[in-house]
Amino acid sequence: MRERKLVGTDGYILEVQTLSKDFGALRAVHDVSFAVEQGHIFSMIGPNGAGKTTAFNLITGVYAATAGQVLFRGRNILGLPQHSITELGIARTFQKLRLFRRMSVMDNVLVGMHCRTGSGVRDAFLGTPKLKQEERQSAMRALTLLKSVGIDEYWDSMACELSYGDQRRLEVARALATEPKLLLLDEPTAGMNPAEKDDMMGMIQNIRDGGTTVLLVEHDMKVVMGISDRIVVLDHGEKICEGSPSEVQCDERVIEAYLGARYRQDRKAGSTPVVGS
């Protein structure tokens, strides 16, 4: 496990500044701040209801923030529509799969490429050489992405025919098809068996090593501690800790609010449990 030193403000691809979100009288996120260094795997952990997915939804434009700023590569993206945020270079997956189940595996990935294609209505209507060339290039790139996540052999299958773990991989491939600089993964190993989780860990590291920064929400502490460069911990919508994996594991506030006494005992015994569900 690598723990790299932060290089300063110029090295941050994402800066979340005093971010808050109210749903009526409920404050789901309260004055949360953190910064993600380019080229890192940055994880967000905490109990169910801590505000992790709400923070994801604020960053990606699903929700409008009550207060604060989200800077992506130095630009405040709060208030931008979701498609504009995607075009700028942010992609995400979801806790619950959102695939086009009755479309082919290949077509699911091609959908993700739509924001990067240049052909217009005229090209589609006339079947221009530009369109045909772009379609060939898109198909080749889609196969490359499917191969990178290990499911290229299923390219012509329906998405609903894939196993659960392979559907998770397909959702990642579709997100990567948008050519993101920052990829947000919301519980990517949920429901996977240990072997599938190990494969997903390797895949996330390969995505990072290929030049895409990763912001991860995950409950499995083996996954989080095994691949994260830095971690922020939320509880009841507030940040209670931020640091390296080793620092977070030893923080008493984190153990009290999330990891629990059993985690402390298991660490001493040399094992790391899954926390939450």
Topology classification of domain 10-89+180-277: Rossmann fold (3.40.50)
Q: What does the pLDDT look like over 99-110, one tens digit per residue?
A: 998 999 999 999
pLDDT at 272: 56
The span from the CA of 231 to the CA of 224, in Å, is 8
Tell me the torsion sign for CA atoms 8, 15, 117, 156. Answer: positive
Q: What does the pLDDT look like over 146-191, one tens digit per residue?
A: 999 999 999 999 999 999 999 999 999 999 999 999 999 999 999 8
Mean pLDDT of the chain: 87
Give the number of other Cβ atoms within 10 Å of residue 172's Cβ. 22
Taking the domains of the chain in order of start, what are their residue ranges? 10-89+180-277, 103-178
Give the number of other Cβ atoms within 10 Å of residue 150's Cβ. 15
Q: What does the pLDDT look like over 19-51, one tens digit per residue?
A: 999 999 999 999 999 999 999 999 999 998 999
Q: Give every CB contact of residue 222 below 8 A, 6+ residues apart in sequence.
A: 197, 272, 274
Give the number of other Cβ atoms within 10 Å of residue 169's Cβ. 23
Higher pLDDT, 125 or 1: 125
- pLDDT average, residue stretch 109-135: 68
pLDDT at 230: 97
pLDDT at 2: 41
> Does residue 8 have a pLDDT over 60?
no
- pLDDT average, residue stretch 88-117: 88
The span from the CA of 175 to the CA of 97, in Å, is 12
pLDDT at 257: 84
Q: Strands (DSSP E) along 73-209, which ranges?
A: 75-76, 90-92, 182-186
Q: What does the pLDDT look like over 195-253, one tens digit per residue?
A: 999 999 999 999 999 999 999 999 999 999 999 999 999 999 999 999 999 999 889 89
pLDDT at 273: 53
> Does residue 78 have a pLDDT over 60?
yes
Q: Give every CB contact of residue 164 below 8 A, 6+ residues apart in sequence.
A: 191, 192
The span from the CA of 90 to the CA of 68, in Å, is 19
Query: Are the C-beta atoms of 180 and 90 separated by less than 8 Å?
Result: yes
pLDDT grade for 16, boundaries at 50, 70 and 90:
very high
> Does residue 7 have a pLDDT over 50?
no
pLDDT at 43: 97
